[in-house]
Structure 1
């Protein structure tokens, strides 16, 4: 059954003024940026689009994505920044300087109480192959594809404990029935 927006309470028609608005990125904090960058580039094949340092506030931003055409990424820093903020599906990793030296620091994943943020999600062409790839790379699983009530959905954790849902679109047809 198709969703009719006017049948779902709270859903309103998109105002003309919002035309062109694009969800650009979501941000996760990274305690040890080298470890997180290696994870997202090696395990999920993301590319670093831009790194921005803010010495006066002591943090660095790393913007990662899976661009359709990596050759289109500009070389010029300013153009590359503008390009980055014009993309879809960007992951921003924020490193607060010195966090890597605090053995007590652990970021809240949003799934423990009090719950809030839950996860990010990647779609993959072959869920079984992705699950094998995660095993090969010693990725920590929260849930494998054959576990729990929702089959054909994987949850893994990144180095800071954030959950990542992994789905194969063609296997998702029966979800929520």
Structure 2
């Protein structure tokens, strides 16, 4: 690998002590795991790798991934747990027991004030087909690909209101660069 990093103030070369570090997962808290698991497994085709329960603290963790045909997921529970924590791009859904029974309960989505967390993102092979699939499944949009200044980028909401960006990578090759009519 020859690419190291885009230069920018504050960027430093990765120290050797971080060799082997892997960004494994992002965690979202969910009100109702049945609803959220149904959404992520059906709408986004993810697979539940592991569920871990912590009765003494009254919560459960659900680790989901979008697997490839070449992924070799161990069947044995302990091996699968270890394998799960060695992967990239895992989504962890955390359920605090009892929230599903509270009608007015909701987590902060990070996009209302005060803003914080923004979104997760799925890259898709065909944005038009993905939008049709999302429409067919009644997914709520924040922004459709043709809306706003950033074209070819969609944002939808999951059952808890978290935003999910949808992109077709090659359509965004020039994202963040001035268009020819804006060049100086």
The two structures have a TM-score, normalised by structure 1, of 0.95
Question: Paired residue for 1:91?
Answer: 91
Question: Paired residue for 1:170?
Answer: 170
Question: Paired residue for 1:33?
Answer: 33
CA distance in 1, matches of 2:11, 2:52: 36
Q: 1:2-151 alignment to 2 at 5 Å?
A: 5=5, 7-69=7-69, 72-151=72-151
Change (3 A) 1:15 1:4: closer
Q: CA RMSD in A?
A: 1.5
Change (3 A) 1:6 1:43: closer
Unaligned 5+ residue runs, structure 1?
none
CA distance in 2, matches of 1:31, 1:60: 11
Report the count of equivalent residues: 175
CA distance in 2, matches of 1:24, 1:158: 21
Change (3 A) 1:147 1:60: same
CA distance in 2, matches of 1:67, 1:139: 22
User: Which moved further from structure 2: 155-164 or 98-107?
Assistant: 98-107
Unaligned 5+ residue runs, structure 2?
178-184
Structure 1, residues 13-68: CA drift from partner, whole Å, max 9, x if none?
00000001000000001101011001000000000010000001000000000122
Deviation at 1:7?
3.6
The two structures have a TM-score, normalised by structure 2, of 0.91
Deviation at 1:104?
2.0
CA distance in 1, matches of 2:53, 2:22: 24
Structure 1, residues 79-122: CA drift from partner, whole Å, max 9, x if none?
11001001110000000000011122111010100010000000
